[in-house]
Structure 1
Amino acid sequence: MERKSETATVIPIAPVQAPAPDPVERFESLTEELLAEPSRTPEILATAAVRTFGPRASAWAARTRAAYPTASAEALARLAVHRFTRTAEIRAVVGALTGPYTPIAVTGGVLVSHAELVLHLAAAFGVDPEDPGRAEDLLKLASPGPGPVVTWLAVGLINRRLPGVSVLSAVLGARSTTEAVAVRARRFYRKNS
């Protein structure tokens, strides 16, 4: 009696992905990390920004490329710059209305817009915005420098005599710093893509 060899069919099983962390858990983890190593605050926040905004940037680039299949990387970059310049301006206006917390609110809002812009520009130029290495890019490209703080000190003095100057200066400052970040990021990703 001849024995037939039996072969088993292997069915690949997709790896089980862990559910996305609850935003409260992620916040507690980030807070714990910041408290444990306050000297690493910029690196920790940049890494958190990549984890949070990187997937959004990837999804945006995929949707935009699907909608405009003939669009160049430069065209996608222009869309991202326009979008996040507007976002920074809106966040600056809202921040300017927070009273004594205005410098913190405006600077925080603008920094978030800069992080989103840099990651969206990376995606526009075909660089993976979810790669943890983008945190280094954020530290190099998304910093507005000391300009906003100095501006707010001056505006605080002027705003006492001319109410409303803070809102106008917030919008203009957000626009100029976001455009400066856009120029640096486009140049960087154009060269490194």
Structure 2
Amino acid sequence: MADPIEVPPAGLWDRMKADPQYAPEHLALEAVRRLGPEARRWADRVRQQRPGIGSDELAKVAVKKFVARARLSGAVSGAAGLPGAIVDVGVLAWTQARMVLHIAAAHGVDPEHPDRATDLLVLQKVHKVAEAARLALGVAAGRERLGGAVSAPLGRVMLRLGVRLAQMAGVRAAKRMFAKVVPGAAVILGTWANSSATSDLARRSIAHYRAAQPGPQPGSPQPGGQPTARA
């Protein structure tokens, strides 16, 4: 049975609603702050429990866990209509960010380093290159400090927020997102779209952090079962 689904914190939702254009950047920044330490503790704990486990094998443990969570989130919120679909893509993007940070930790890459927010935005295809992601993160961080809010109608804000979060979560086809409001089809489509998008992201993330990992070849045990420090 999959672990309980954790939704993005209320404060993050408030920031994303106030600044929907930069919702993915706000989510990435908060994920590294809040989930990075958790990912590090998880990797350390599993290595202590399973001495000699290889980085790829450890990453697969995380992938299995979070793909199951993504599948469950699609089944739970898929039948809740359009507002539920918006919540669902937010939950999915948050679950995926947690998975990516766990994969980074599995490969000895520091999940708490600010560069992981850049990685999230590129791996989740919000931005094509790291430089664009860093620039957008800087803008979002500045807007976060100012605490500004948009003045657009709520319906428009929520639609924009849903589109941006769907882009981050990998649910890019509009018919996928909006079909989730159709009774009956919603649960099936939500479950498939979430698990498929998350599995694709997992493959990209493992390839990325495997290449970034110094030391032994991919899949080989780390000396002493400990991760190699890496920004």
Normalising by structure 2, what TM-score? 0.63
Structure 1 counterpart of 2:110, from 119, 128, 131? 128
The alignment covers a number of residue pairs equal to 162
Structure 1 counterpart of 2:65, from 41, 65, 83? 83
Structure whose alpha-carbon radius of gyration is higher: 1
Match status 1:72 vs 2:54: yes
Partners of 1:80 and 1:149 in 2: CA distance: 29
Judge conservation of contact 1:46–1:135 (CA < 8 Å) in 2.
yes
- The residue type equivalent to 2:202 in the other structure is A
Match status 1:45 vs 2:27: yes
CA spacing shift, 1:71–1:192, aligned 2, 3 Å: same
**Aligned-pair distance for 1:95?**
1.3
Identify the residue that residue 60 of structure 1 maps to in structure 2: 42
Q: Aligned-pair RMSD on alpha carbons?
A: 2.4
Partner SS, residue 111 of structure 2: coil
CA spacing shift, 1:59–1:177, aligned 2, 3 Å: same
Partners of 1:134 and 1:121 in 2: CA distance: 11
Identify the residue that residue 101 of structure 1 maps to in structure 2: 83
CA spacing shift, 1:164–1:34, aligned 2, 3 Å: closer
Segment of structure 1 superposing worse, 50-59 or 103-112? 103-112
- The residue type equivalent to 1:144 in the other structure is A
Identify the residue that residue 173 of structure 1 maps to in structure 2: 193
1:110-163 deviations in whole A, cap 9, x for unaligned? 11111001000000000010111100011011333452543123454xx3xxx4
Note the residue ranges of structure 1 that are not aligned, 5 or more in a row.
Answer: 1-22
Identify the residue that residue 150 of structure 1 maps to in structure 2: 175
Judge conservation of contact 1:33–1:44 (CA < 8 Å) in 2.
yes
Partners of 2:64 and 2:175 in 1: CA distance: 26
- Trace 1:4-19 onto structure 2 (pairs within 5 A): none
Partner SS, residue 147 of structure 1: coil
Note the residue ranges of structure 2 that are not aligned, 5 or more in a row.
Answer: 1-8, 125-167, 214-231
Match status 1:116 vs 2:98: yes
- The residue type equivalent to 1:147 in the other structure is R
- The residue type equivalent to 1:93 in the other structure is A
Partners of 1:34 and 1:166 in 2: CA distance: 24
Normalising by structure 1, what TM-score? 0.75
> Which structure would you say has the larger RCO, counting Cα contacts within 8 Å and 6 or more residues apart?
2
Identify the residue that residue 184 of structure 1 maps to in structure 2: 204
Segment of structure 1 superposing worse, 50-59 or 137-146? 137-146
CA spacing shift, 1:68–1:148, aligned 2, 3 Å: farther
Partners of 1:126 and 1:51 in 2: CA distance: 18
Segment of structure 1 superposing worse, 144-153 or 113-122? 144-153
CA spacing shift, 1:178–1:33, aligned 2, 3 Å: closer
Judge conservation of contact 2:171–2:177 (CA < 8 Å) in 1.
no
Judge conservation of contact 1:85–1:178 (CA < 8 Å) in 2.
yes
